[in-house]
């Protein structure tokens, strides 16, 4: 019979690990208001109808950083993104403010129930701009599946193959990858067009 404990000790000594996110980026705050999920059964027909955001952690050669991105769900276009060594509400709110300044306002903004997104600072900015607030059900990452697919693409196609040696290198590398993702990488779900092609064509048609 295989000694599982001995195998586990061997893996630990050889530093053999499964590569997957371990940092909890969605810690709820019991004192913050939670909002209902508005996307169930919703047909997304136009750009800027629904934006979604999330935070993930990005491993480097030494340590890790956090990445936040905001995407348009119709086109899968990455509207804005940022990296930081902390993931507080002020950072998330500033990224949201930048995105609104760049692209205008969506009708609905979808997040998980992380404390950054349920904070008054973040939700007040959405309310001030008459943006409907939607939040995933607790423990239901599938509700935000489109941005989860973005994280998988970023990590599998770039991060794990090119571990950055510091924050500056990580920023430059992510910038190049997002440019590739938006402007060069065709998506099967978009009839093999790029997110930027879809976003710009629908914006012109609006």
Residue 141 is part of a domain; what is its CATH number? Answer: 3.30.420.10
What pTM did the predictor assign?
Answer: 0.84
Tens digits of residue pLDDT in 35-55: 999 998 899 999 999 999 999
Is 18 inside any structural domain? no
Is 6 inside any structural domain? no
- For 75, the domain range is 23-205
pLDDT value of position 145: 85
Number of domain units in the chain: 1
Let me know if 167 is exposed, middle or buried by CB neighbors in 10 A (0-12, 13-18, 19+).
middle
Is 197 inside any structural domain? yes
Going by C-alpha positions, the residue among 128, 126, 129, 147 that lies closest to residue 70 is: 147
Is 11 inside any structural domain? no
Is 145 inside any structural domain? yes
Is 4 inside any structural domain? no
Helix axes 167-183, 145-154, angle to 10 degrees: 120
């Amino acid at each position: 019979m295989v000694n599982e404990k001995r195998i586990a000790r061997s893996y630990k000594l050889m530093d053999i690990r499964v590569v997957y996110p371990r940092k909890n980026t969605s810690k709820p705050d019991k004192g913050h208001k939670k909002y209902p999920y508005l996307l169930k059964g919703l047909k997304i027909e136009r750009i800027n109808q629904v934006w979604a955001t999330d935070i993930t952690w990005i491993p480097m050669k030494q340590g890790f950083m956090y990445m936040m991105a905001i995407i348009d769900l119709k086109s899968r276009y990455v509207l804005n993104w940022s990296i930081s060594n902390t993931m507080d509400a002020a950072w998330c709110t500033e990224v949201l403010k930048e995105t609104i300044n760049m692209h205008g306002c969506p009708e609905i903004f979808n997040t998980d129930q992380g404390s950054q997104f349920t904070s008054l600072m973040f939700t007040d900015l959405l309310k001030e701009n008459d943006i409907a607030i939607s939040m995933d059900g607790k423990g239901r990452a599938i509700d935000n599946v489109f941005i989860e697919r973005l994280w998988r693409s970023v990590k599998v196609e770039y991060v794990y193959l090119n571990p950055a040696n510091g924050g500056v290198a990580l920023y430059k590398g992510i910038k190049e990858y997002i440019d590739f993702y938006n402007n060069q990488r065709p998506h099967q779900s978009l009839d093999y067009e790029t997110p930027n092609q879809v976003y710009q064509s629908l914006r012109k048609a609006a």
